[in-house]
Structure 1
């Protein structure tokens, strides 16, 4: 029995519960049909108990689920039993950070929209270090080093043999923020230019001229799952990261990203803007 299931394990359990409820079955009724005790159903749905691929297929059949793409995606969530690199930080960093790294590792594609900072996946080491030094709750040198190494390791999804497609929308305010001073800011902007040269990375900017736009007050990350039902939104909030996966929430943030894209500069014009900002430093 797991004492602290990961975000991915919790999501698998949640999706199994959705299938059961869509079938109109209670945990007791599902247990009777599957030949297990009701508390076993509850433990699987809470991510506390492991679920095999065969068990997922059996549950989907019992619940009359005919969505083969979803079933295949859920089966895929049972297959990787290896400990991810983020588990090294389990007793060191908050659990939501580990869940974010796990989410990014398994995502089919990633999107970010930020206003005041460069997205974490595109930050240089020096830029990230300055961000952590300015944390509202002052971090100790060891804590800063742990968070810094964790952030840099998260970026591996953009460098692996089959990198994750990534699209970022960054406000001009973040581009002009002289985090760490002109030298570090210039290095960060050059890094953005270098990364935007990669085929799997698309960078857009939103200028001050646009004014207010949907989601302008939030840092929003969107992780695409194997099927749309398994997408996840991650929001940065004052009390920590929040993960959203309800159908209505996903629909809302898909629409939000479409509206953001409509007011953003093209990748080509974004590069022109970045060069102009660098000249102003």
Structure 2
């Protein structure tokens, strides 16, 4: 495996950071932009090695004592979901984004910034600024984040994502105060969108697909067959109810859940503006 790489995207304004399984896009605005990009590159260099060093503990349901900055973010992000089964790995992408964003903000002159780690995004929005984030839903859309809003993290999970899911959601997008929390919550809500025992859903032990999976022998979704309208609504309602409880506890601000073209939202801050696919 090659070492950490940093390259400008064709627009010359965004930076692509790559190392092993990690792919990040960093965008920064403000007078301190150049120095902030340098800090992001410097911090990214050690990120993967730090995570690998603590993987055995991060794959445990309770996490265990950890030392590195990102690992600590992961452990803290999943703590609110106990006693439900979850390991700190559910927050790895969001926590990594937060770590790089923290490096970006370690100096002055950043008015807006974001770190997109495979679709899980950490934001910085200075007073008077706004940012727009894409939302995964049956109708592609966006949500506008303003400086006074509490949301600084957006993450998406589902059965079709990079990680294995215990549920059947096509996508669950979560808005939360931080990217690590949003990442963990999206995983948990996506797990809750489910029809246990349904014959059209094919499940296999996670370890059969990924021998080192933190999910072990737990059955993860491999394929979802035909579902009728009522079954889709039932599965979404299970996830909506779980998401609503997270909103009520103040863990997340909002969520958008989708399955087979149907969509439900939770939380008053979800304001999706439909985007014309021909002009996206």
TM-score range, shorter chain: under 0.3
Taking structure 2 as the reference length, the TM-score comes to 0.26
Per chain length, whose mean CA-contact separation is higher, i.e. which structure has more relative contact order (CA < 8 Å, sep 6+)?
1
Taking structure 1 as the reference length, the TM-score comes to 0.26
Name the structure with the higher helix share: 1
Query: Which one has the largest radius of gyration?
Result: 1
Name the structure with the higher strand share: 2
